């Protein structure tokens, strides 16, 4: 089957990125009927957002006019003295700039510890960790310094206009801040957006390191298909296997692509829109001028090297500290750690009373 034949059939959510162009009178008739039916399908599919009926430039205009309410640059706080980004020894190996948006919650330190320890096994990697907060959390800074990997620690809070929304666009202001930082500080390397709660196979880093323009690969545990993946035919990306096409040209997850940093300089305005679910597509539509440039990774997009895992959110405990504390026990240090890591907050008048069960009690 040719790629044109593959794409012309109704493959549900196999989103085609090129269409057959040569057709006769009869097939033109068929095409009109087909398009009418497809349109009907779109209108009646609750999963498809309104953008699905738009194409190319129209989609782009719709996104930028309606969704980028915030036009001014993000407020960015630099948390640590800037590091020298050119200190990597082997300059022939492209450096991976791994951008992680993160926000305060009880599971944050657990996520960052696990991710940081994965990243410390990767050579020539620079971690750009951007907190969704007006200022930096010292406990996060401490973890970064302890890991001993090159890092940049920034903070950039979600604009308040979006915070009020029931389903706000997550991690956008912080990723935009990271783009700004890279454009001002880095000339070359490979950019990857790695959320703090995903799981990464170390082989992923070998795959993305030689990204010449833009590379794509499957992400496990996304949507109803258990995966979001580019579809490769004859070595080329010809579509996407993703259960939420939603009119997106590039139906990919944030963790499913890497970009050569030269493209950030080539397209200085490319950024993420504040629109849930359309962040990746908005960015990719700006920088992918030729779909032939997309490099299929992970054995022609047949392997899963990254998973969109989600951690159960545990509300921060509100506690009253034990009233009877025997001096010199570990308890005050422990409570301090709970507070520092935002696992619990303490008040002497409110919250759940807590107590120590001493061995001598029983």
The residues of the shown chain that bind Mn ion, judged by CB under 5 A, are: 195, 197
When binding is defined by CB under 6 A, the residue of 7, 96, 186, 195 that contacts ligand UGA is 195
Q: Is 268 in the site for ligand UGA (CB under 6 A)?
A: no
What is the rounded distance in angstroms from the CA atom of residue 122 to the CA atom of residue 116?
10
Alpha helices in the chain (DSSP H): 3-8, 25-44, 56-67, 108-119, 138-147, 160-163, 172-185, 203-209, 262-266, 279-287, 298-301, 331-340
**What residue is closest to ligand UGA based on CB?**
171
Give catalytic residues, as residue numbers. 280
3-state secondary structure of 305: coil
Distance of CA 162 to the CA centre of its chain: 18
Q: Is 103 in the site for ligand UGA (CB under 6 A)?
A: yes
How many residues bind ligand UGA, per CB under 6 A?
20
285 contacts 59 by C-beta, under 8 angstroms: yes
Q: Is 310 in the site for ligand UGA (CB under 6 A)?
A: yes
3-state secondary structure of 229: strand
Q: Is 281 in the site for ligand UGA (CB under 6 A)?
A: no
The torsion angles phi and psi of 170, rounded to 5 degrees, stand at -90, 140
345 contacts 316 by C-beta, under 8 angstroms: yes
What is the rounded distance in angstroms from the CA atom of residue 165 to the CA atom of residue 301?
35
CB-nearer residue toward Mn ion: 131 or 195 = 195
Q: Is 220 in the site for ligand UGA (CB under 6 A)?
A: no
Q: Is 242 in the site for ligand UGA (CB under 6 A)?
A: no
Q: Which two tokens stand for residue 90?
A: 């082997």
Sketch the per residue contact string, 323 through 362, with ligand UGA: x for CB under 6 A, - otherwise: ----------------------------------------
Q: Kindly indicate which of the ranges 26-34, 45-53, 54-62, 193-201 contains the residues binding ligand UGA, using the contact rule CB under 6 A.
A: 193-201
When binding is defined by CB under 6 A, the residue of 74, 207, 279, 281 that contacts ligand UGA is 279
What is the rounded distance in angstroms from the CA atom of residue 301 to the CA atom of residue 349?
56
Q: Is 170 in the site for ligand UGA (CB under 6 A)?
A: yes
Q: Kindly indicate which of the ranges 4-12, 22-30, 70-78, 190-198 contains the residues binding ligand UGA, using the contact rule CB under 6 A.
A: 190-198
3-state secondary structure of 354: coil
Q: Is 308 in the site for ligand UGA (CB under 6 A)?
A: yes
Residue numbers at the binding site for ligand UGA (CB under 6 A): 100-103, 132, 158, 169-171, 174, 195-197, 253-254, 276-277, 279, 308, 310
């Amino acid at each position: 089957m040719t790629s044109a034949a593959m794409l012309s059939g109704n493959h549900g959510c196999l989103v085609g990125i090129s269409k057959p162009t040569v057709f006769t009178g009869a097939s033109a008739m068929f095409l009109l009927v087909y398009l009418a039916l497809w349109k009907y399908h779109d209108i009646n599919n609750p999963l498809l957002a309104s953008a699905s009926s738009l194409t190319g430039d129209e989609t782009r205009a719709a996104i930028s006019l309606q969704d980028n309410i915030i036009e001014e640059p993000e407020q960015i706080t630099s948390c640590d003295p800037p590091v020298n980004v050119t200190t990597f020894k082997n300059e022939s190996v492209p450096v991976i700039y791994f951008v992680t948006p993160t926000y305060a919650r009880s599971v944050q330190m657990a996520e960052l510890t696990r991710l940081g320890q994965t990243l410390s096994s990767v050579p020539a990697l620079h971690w750009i960790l951007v907190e969704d907060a007006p200022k930096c959390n010292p406990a996060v800074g401490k973890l970064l310094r302890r890991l001993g990997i090159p890092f940049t620690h920034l903070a950039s809070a979600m604009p308040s206009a979006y915070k009020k929304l029931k389903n706000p666009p997550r991690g956008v202001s912080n990723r935009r801040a990271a783009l700004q930082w890279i454009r001002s500080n880095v000339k070359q390397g490979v950019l990857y957006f790695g959320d703090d709660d995903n799981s990464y196979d170390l082989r992923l880093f070998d795959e993305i390191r030689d990204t010449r323009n833009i590379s794509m690969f499957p992400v496990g545990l996304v949507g109803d298909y258990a995966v979001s993946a580019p579809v490769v035919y004859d070595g080329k990306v010809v579509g996407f296997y993703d259960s939420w096409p939603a009119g997106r040209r590039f139906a990919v997850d944030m963790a499913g692509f890497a970009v050569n940093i030269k493209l950030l300089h080539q397209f200085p305005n490319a950024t993420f829109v504040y629109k849930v679910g359309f962040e990746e597509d908005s960015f990719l539509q700006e920088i992918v001028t030729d779909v032939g440039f997309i490099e299929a990774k992970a054995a022609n997009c047949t392997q899963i090297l990254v998973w969109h895992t989600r951690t159960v959110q545990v509300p921060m405990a509100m506690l009253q500290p034990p009233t009877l504390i025997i001096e010199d026990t570990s308890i005050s240090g422990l409570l301090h750690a709970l507070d520092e890591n935002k696992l619990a907050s303490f008040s002497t008048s409110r919250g759940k009373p807590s107590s120590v069960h001493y061995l001598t009690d029983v």
